């Protein structure tokens, strides 16, 4: 009988217009009934659904005829009451599934469900950085390895033994380029790391010579220097595909960085990136928006490398 009484209280609480619903839930909490968490979760989901309905109603009101009898304040009042009860009924009948997630998260009774309190980082930025760095490295390895297959006149191979060697070798050239552009040198090295997988996938010509192309700059019709044709991954509407493209080849890393500076500063579309260069995040985002790369996560990958423990340790 006590269980039936509590259930009746919960059913009353689902009536959004019942003024005693809050007291009913308080009594259920006081009695130690575990069903109160389920009811609270459904109530929360009902509020969420109600907010969505309210937003949709506002969009509809913007297009409504002001002279229509269905657009009066009285009609809107009763319509809002109906929407509130509708949201409550929808949430109690399964709804969007939000209530179930809340119950699993807070109840912690499902052995197969890991609560957020266990997996959250608690502000452990070093752990987050390592996770981002690993994800970027793994994604880059997969893409670069795929792009290096099936090439004829050129291929991608390692130009550096370690990421630390990559940073140390590139650092003086990046600092020189950064001073010219007014850009954070760490952002430049981070971009090169994304483009080449920390120097593990640098384009080499058919004779086995490194092209020193660390920024994925293609050889368009304006380019009069050496070039190498290799497979690359391009994104169209977020979908990756393998394509052949010609890339610029340089005799040295210094020449590559000089051309990188010239490439960005000579094209109006990269003006926003250059002017915001001191802010690494804005620089990376502006490069992506200007179409530097087709990868929709290009800026995010650059910043993941930028904030990585490896980059912070070598370039504080």
Residue 173 pLDDT > 70, yes or no?
yes
Average pLDDT, the chain: 76
The neighbouring-strand residues paired with 204 are 155, 210
pLDDT at 261 > cutoff 60: yes
18 pLDDT higher than 50? yes
Q: How confident is the model at residue 57 (pLDDT cuts 50, 70, 90)?
A: confident
How far apart CA 192 and CA 212 sit, in angstroms, is 11
Position 159 scores a pLDDT of: 94
CATH number for the domain formed by residue range(s) 125-314: 1.10.530.10
Most confident by average pLDDT, 86-90, 229-233, 282-286: 282-286
Q: How far is 227 from 209, CA to CA, in rounded Å?
A: 12
Q: Is the pLDDT confidence value at 108 over 80? A: no
Q: Is the pLDDT of residue 147 over 60?
A: no
Say what the pLDDT of residue 196 is: 94
Which residue blocks in 108-252 are alpha helix, DSSP H?
A: 116-119, 125-147, 163-181, 185-196
**Top-ranked range on mean pLDDT: pick from 6-20, 74-88, 232-246, 254-268:** 254-268
Long-range contacts from 310-314, C-beta under 8 angstroms, 24+ separation: 310/133, 310/163, 310/164, 310/167, 311/167, 311/186, 311/189, 311/190, 311/193, 312/129, 314/164, 314/167, 314/168, 314/171
- The domain locations on the chain are 2-119, 125-314
Could you tell me if 230 and 245 are in contact, meaning their C-beta atoms sit under 8 angstroms apart? yes
Could you tell me if 143 and 187 are in contact, meaning their C-beta atoms sit under 8 angstroms apart? no
Residue matched to tokens 């490896």? 310
As annotated, the active-site residues are: 234, 259
């Amino acid at each position: 009988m006590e269980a039936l009484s509590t259930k009746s209280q919960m059913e009353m609480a689902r009536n959004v217009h019942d003024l005693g619903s809050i007291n009913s839930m308080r009594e259920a909490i006081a009695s130690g009934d575990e069903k109160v968490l389920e009811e609270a979760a459904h109530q929360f989901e009902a509020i969420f659904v109600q907010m969505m309905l309210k937003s949709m109603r506002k969009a509809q009101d913007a297009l409504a005829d002001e002279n229509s009898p269905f657009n009066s304040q009285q009609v809107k009042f009763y319509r809002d009451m109906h929407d509130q009860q509708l949201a409550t009924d929808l949430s109690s009948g399964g709804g969007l599934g939000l209530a179930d997630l809340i119950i699993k998260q807070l109840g912690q009774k499902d052995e197969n469900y890991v609560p957020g309190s266990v997996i959250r980082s608690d502000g452990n930025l070093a752990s987050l950085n390592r996770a981002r760095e690993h994800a970027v490295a793994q994604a880059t390895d997969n893409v670069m390895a795929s792009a290096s297959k099936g090439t004829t006149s050129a291929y991608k191979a390692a130009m550096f033994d370690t990421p630390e060697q990559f940073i140390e070798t590139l650092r003086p050239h990046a600092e020189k380029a950064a001073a010219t552009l007014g850009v954070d040198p760490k952002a430049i090295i981070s971009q090169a790391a994304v483009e080449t997988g920390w120097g593990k996938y640098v384009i080499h010509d058919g004779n086995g010579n490194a092209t020193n192309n660390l920024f994925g700059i293609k050889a368009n019709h304006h380019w009069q220097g050496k070039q190498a044709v290799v497979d690359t991954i391009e994104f169209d509407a977020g979908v990756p595909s393998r394509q052949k493209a010609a890339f610029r080849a340089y005799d040295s890393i210094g020449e590559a960085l000089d051309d990188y500076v010239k490439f960005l500063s000579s094209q109006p579309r990269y003006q926003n990136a250059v002017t915001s260069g001191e802010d690494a995040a804005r620089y990376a985002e502006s490069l992506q928006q200007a179409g530097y790369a087709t990868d929709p996560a290009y800026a995010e990958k650059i910043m993941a490398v930028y904030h990585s423990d490896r980059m912070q340790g070598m370039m504080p």
